[in-house]
Each structure stands twice: as C-alpha cells, then as structure tokens.
Amino acid sequence: MKPKQLIIPLLAMTVIAACVKHQNAPATTQDTPQVTEAKTWFEQNVLSRSPSPNSNNHRATLPRTLRWDQASVVTISGSDAVVVPIQFSKDVYLRADNSGPALFRLSEASRLVIYKDSLNTTTYQQLTFIPDSTMQPGDSTFSGIVLSEDWSGNTLARPSRINSRPAHTTVDIVEQTQVCNTVYGYNYSEDDPSDTYEWSETTCTMYSFASAPLGGHSGLSSPLPVTRTLSLAYFKIALVPPANAIGSIADYIKCFSNYGGSDHTYQVTLCVDQPDPGTTEPWGISSTGVGGSSAGGNPVDVGHTFLVLTENFPGYSIVRNVGFYPSTNVYPWSTSAQGALSNDDGHNYNISLTVNVDNGQFFNILNYISQGNNAGYMYDLNTNNCTTFALEALSAGNVVIPATEGSWMFNGHGYDPGDLGQNINNMTLSSNMTRNNKYSDHPNQYTCN
Amino acid sequence: MKHALRLFLLLGSIISNIENGHAQSAAWQQSSHWTLYNLGGVKFYKVKTDSLSFYSSRPLDDDSMHDFLAHASELASEQAPLWMGAFVTSCMIDGKMHKVDISSYGTFFFDETAKKYFQVTQDVRTDWLNYLANSAGSVPSKK
C-alpha cells in the first residue's frame, strides 16, 4: 500500500447512512457438518500457519474475524462450498476506479470460500467483490470484479469479471490502462470522525483486465454462486461544504512536524506560472479565443504563484502545495473576492525557487498561510493576489525575495507572476537557494492520521 | 404597450436561457471519456485539441463529471473571468472530441471546441476543484 494523497478533507466527510441495500437471497446461517468441518480445516491448516500479511495489501493488514455463525453452503460446479462472511473490525469502505461514485462496506463485499478443488483437495480463497458502475442498487445480480487472495492478501488468481455488461464503459477504462486496479478505502468512524483515514491499494503491473475472461477464475470454477450470499449497501460520501478547496488548512498541513534536529530538513519552493514565460508581461495573450472572443488576441491569463512546502526526514517526505485564490470568479473590472487556499499540486509553472529553511522559519510560513481561508480575508488582484500572498508568507519566515511591482489594465498594479518570474530568473542566489527553469511534477506526498 | 413588449421579451429571454441551460446540461450528460492532461508546464491555451494525445493523461470518472456538470450553464463570452491556470481536460460529445479548459480557482470552464464559456454551480465548486486537483496530482508529466 502506498499512502494516498488526501483526496478530500476527511474530517469534513460524512457517510450518509441512508444507503440502499443490494438485496440478494439472504445468507442463511448454517450450523451444518460442512461448516463445522470447514471451520476446523481452516483453523488447523490456514490460521495456525498463516504467514505475515502482505504489506502491499492494506485489507490483509486489518483485523478481521470470520463470521462462522453466518456461514452458508452453496453449490459450485456440483460440489458444496462453505461461504463465510468476513467482518473487518472497523467500518472500512471501498470503491474502485470502475465502481462509480458509490462506496461499499468492505465487510459486506468480502467472503471466505472453502471448497474442494478438481483433485478433491480442500482449499480456500478469500474473495472481494467490487461492484462496477453499471450495478445499481436493487439489482438482483452482481456485476463487477472479484479479487481472489489467500488469507495473507497474496493474489491467487487474476481479477475476473462477473456479469459485466456489454455497454460497460468503466471496464474499458481499466482495459485501456491495463495496469490500474486501484481500490480506495475509507476507515470511517461515525462516533469518532477524527479516527477517519484513507487508504488505497494499487496493483498496477500484476493484472490485465483486458484479457480476463468473463467469470473465469483459477481454481474456483465460478464465484457466481458466492455473489448470492452478498448483501451490499451503497453509500455516498457527502462533503460538508467547506468555504474553499482546502477545507481545513489546519488539517491539510497537520502532517508537518516541528523538529529542530538535523534529521528533519525543510524546504519552501516558490513556483511561478508566468503569463508569458520568460517575460515580465502581466497578462497572457490567447490566440485561440479562450479569452472571450473567437477572434483571439485577448488578454486572458494573469498567471499564478504558489508554494510547495516540504519536510524531509529519513525515508519520507511530506509535501503540500498551497496557492491563494479568489473563491469566486474575478474579472478585470471586478478584482476582489473572499480568499481561498487551494491544493495546487497539478498546477503548471515555468520557474521556481527552492529555499532551505529551518523549522522555525517553516512554521512561521505555515502560520502565515493559515489565514488564507479566514472569513473576511480577501483576495484582491492588485493588493493581495497570489503573488503578494506567497511573498508575504515567505517574508514571515524571514525569506525575502526581491520583487518588482507591475502594472496592467484598468489601472491595476501590484506584484505579479510575470515580474516575479523574471526577478527569480535574475536574482543572485544565496547558498540555501536553488533555481529551476523547468517544470517538474510536484505532487502532494504523505498522509497521516 | 412598450412595457408589455419589454415584459414579453424578458420572459422570452428567461425561457430561452432556461431551455439553453437544460439543453446544455443534457449535452454534458451525454459526454464521455473524460480525460485529464498534464501539459508539463505548457500554457493551457497553447495546446490544440489534436495535440493532447502527446501529453500524459488519466481518465476522469464520467459519472462524477456528470454530477458536477448537472446544472452547468453557459456564460456570455463577454463575461469571461480571469484565468489563473487551468486543468486541461477533454471529453467526447456526439463522437467529437472537445478540449475543455477548467479554471483552477473559480466555477468557470471553456469548451475550446464549441468556443463557449460555461460555469458549474457554486455549491459544487469545492468538490469539483478538489476532484480535479487530486486527479491532476496523480498524472506524471512524462508520458
């Protein structure tokens, strides 16, 4: 498992319990000899010998129990198979790239199946059923992908599709990439939202869905009967609307730690997306009509300046991108709006300056940034724009960058990305600074509880 | 009489706008194959639609995009807001590829193929930007 970038402010997340159940034939409790025999076999041959969980499989690392009291017996290819629900200790939700916006409770999508193979040898598989986006609440048959693993989370067979429909488009997406089987999970506690966290598993090189036969499954001839024991509830995540794209700046930057020792180093990178790269021009000119007229030649792009904050310590880097924006559309003739911080980890830039700072400077910069979401803290294209904000934040950390003010239409003037980019390009660097004239990716890294 | 005519024209305009809005929402609901690109530092408006395939990309979830665009409405091009960067996306509508530049801060976006501005509703802005930002962060620039 790799730590997943924080997709949504989880503390603001609410799982709507008014979910819709996907009702199949209810699994009947079976205290039958088959169940008893299967339980004895599994405890003696698997649980007592099971090696450590596969660390790449987050699900396998979670505490879970087998609900033998809810076990049922189904017939697969003429033989009895015992199906046991798997109960994960917390409310763990999952979805896949191809399961649409709905979430599913992992416990309801996981089953242990104990059966006899073609050589009449008792064996087992842990199956995880991930519905696809064509499966609707109330559907009587399962449609999606099934993962087959051993108790330690190691893959036993490539994922197979069950009942995927011809018009299925999201599987096509998976086929196009032919690498991505990402399962997203959310551990969410309604009673204690602070205990919520997000995880993901990406198995990118192991599978090719494109060649996976429908319903085909190594060892277990068909998991279809097992799907009839499922009772899947659909959940939707509703976000309590925050005032801005980074709903809680405190939450967004909470992973950073304030250590004075030499094993923690801190960097701030000032990234500048100049309107016309390599010039002080404060406005980008479009030749394609994007500026409001199909004739082109319109001033459209004022560029952008943002910060990339990095803490390095042995084996890890914590990276957060922060940019300051207006929270509503602004215009050349209407330049002010409530300010809002945004995650800029996909934003382009053409020149950057990285400054090594100490922990005190770093946290002073964070403190300055933290006001960006405050009600009444205004963005203004002239007096407090993204460039002003970034420069002031650095200044709060005693990092002073020589900056020139520019001027633009409607009597506008102030700091701007065009001038700042050229200032950085021409400045003499201190020993703690690095300049980069080429774009490189700068994704957020590291999540923490 | 003049007032009646004005009222009639105003009502006509409102009805027309509502119908356009519905028509546009319907068109976005038909969109598919939403894709997000990493232009690796190139200005968003300098890359033509037929060049997008040269850049690294990842698919966006069509259902999510439909949700965000459910109440999208057209903006008069004279009311074009300022750009401060954009998420560059494309989608298919009626078999034709549309390059769609989405503002990195506001609610507006520009369909370069149709040469029209649109905006999503303010209530979905946060989720919309978060979804795009987090998706963009996972697209490496190297193809």
Which residues in chain A are contacts of B107 at CB distance < 8 A?
328-329
DSSP per residue, A272-317:
EE-SSTTS--SSEEESSSTTS-TT--EEEE--EEEEEEEEEETTEE
Contact yes or no for A416/A385 (Cβ under 8 A) = yes
Tokens (6 digits) for A137: 């609440």
Residue A311, pLDDT above cutoff 70: yes
CA distance A224 to A11: 37
Bridge-partner residues for B73, per DSSP?
Answer: B119
Strands A122-131 and A144-149: antiparallel
DSSP result, A189-228: -SS-GGG-EEEEEE--SS--GGGPPBT--SSSS--HHHHT
User: Smallest CA–CA separation between B61 and chain A, in Å?
Assistant: 7
The three-class DSSP label of residue B11 is helix
Contacts of residue B123, Cβ cutoff 8 Å, sequence gap at least 6: A241
Q: What is the pLDDT, as a whole number, of residue A164?
A: 58
CA distance A181 to A58: 14
ipTM: 0.82
Distance from CA of B64 to the nearest CA of A (A): 7
- pLDDT over 90 for what percent of chain A? 35
DSSP structure string for A110-123: EEEEEEE-TTS-EE
Gap between the Cα atoms of A268 and A362, Å rounded = 8
CA angle B51, B55, B60 (to 5 degrees): 105
Domains of chain B: 2-136 (3.30.1490)
- Look up residue A350 and give its DSSP letter: S
- Of the candidates A109, A105, A223, which has an alpha carbon nearest to the alpha carbon of residue A163? A223
| B135, B36 Cβ separation under 8 angstroms | yes
| Residues in A 335-364 with any Cβ partner in B closer than 8 A | 340, 342-350
- Residue A365, by phi and psi: left (phi above 0), alpha (psi -120 to 50) or beta? alpha
Report the residue from A241, A273, A328 with minimal CB separation from B106: A328
Statement: residue A283 has pLDDT above 90: no
Please judge whether B77 and A97 are an interchain contact, meaning their C-beta atoms are less than 8 angstroms apart.
no
Residues in contact with A285: Cβ distance below 8 Å, sequence separation at least 6, in sequence order: A276, A291, A297, A298, A299, A300
Residues B82, A7: C-beta atoms closer than 8 Å:
no
pLDDT of residue A29: 52
- The whole-angstrom separation of Cα B35 and Cα B98 is 10
Least reliable range by pLDDT among A83-97, A271-285, B51-65, B74-88: A83-97
Arithmetic mean of pLDDT, A79-101: 72
Is the pLDDT assigned to residue A168 strictly greater than 70?
Answer: no
Q: Which residue has the higher pLDDT, B78 or A361?
A: A361
Of B14, B9, B12, B17, which Cα lies nearest the Cα of B1?
A: B9
Determine contact, residues A173/A97, Cβ cutoff 8 Å: yes
- The 3-state DSSP class for residue A70 equals helix
What's the pLDDT at A287?
60
* A2's tokens: 């790799």
- A27 in Cβ contact with A227 (< 8 Å): no
B-proximal residues of A, 176-195, CB under 8 Å: 176-177
User: Do A244 and B106 lie within an 8 Å CB cutoff?
Assistant: no
> Across chain A, what does the average pLDDT equal?
75
Kindly report, residue by residue over A192-212, the tens digit of the pLDDT.
545 555 555 544 333 333 333
Tell me the chain B residues in contact with residue A346 when contact means C-beta distances shorter than 8 Å.
Answer: 38, 87, 132-133, 135-137, 139
The secondary structure of residue B55, as a DSSP letter, is: S
Alpha-carbon torsion angle B51, B55, B58, B62, nearest 10: -20
Contacts of A36 (CB under 8 A, 6+ apart): none
Is the pLDDT at A4 greater than 60? The verdict is no
**Predicted pLDDT at A299:** 52
Judged by CB atoms closer than 8 Å, whether chains meet at A444 and B137 is answered as: yes
Which pLDDT band, with edges at 50, 70 and 90, does A96 fall under?
low
The span from the CA of B36 to the CA of B56, in Å, is 9
Instruction: Name which of A151-165, B26-40, B53-67 the model is least confident about.
Output: A151-165
Is the confidence at residue A81, as pLDDT, over 50?
yes
Q: What are phi and psi of A201, to 5 degrees?
A: -125, 130
> Considering just the CA atoms, what is the radius of gyration of chain A in Å?
27
Angle in degrees, CA A50, A56, A58, rounded to 5: 80
Q: pLDDT-based confidence at A130, cuts 50/70/90? A: confident
Q: Please give the average per-residue pLDDT across A36-50, as a whole number.
A: 89
Whole-Å CA distances, A435 to A272, A353, A357, A359, A381? 11, 5, 15, 21, 26
Amino acid at A260: G
CA distance A129 to A146: 5
User: Is B126 in contact with A331 (Cβ distance < 8 A)?
Assistant: no
Nearest to A346 among B45, B122, B137 (CB): B137
Name every chain A residue with its beta carbon within 8 A of the beta carbon of B52: none
The DSSP code sequence of B60-95 is PPHHHHHHHTTT-EEE-GGG---BS-EEEEEEEETT
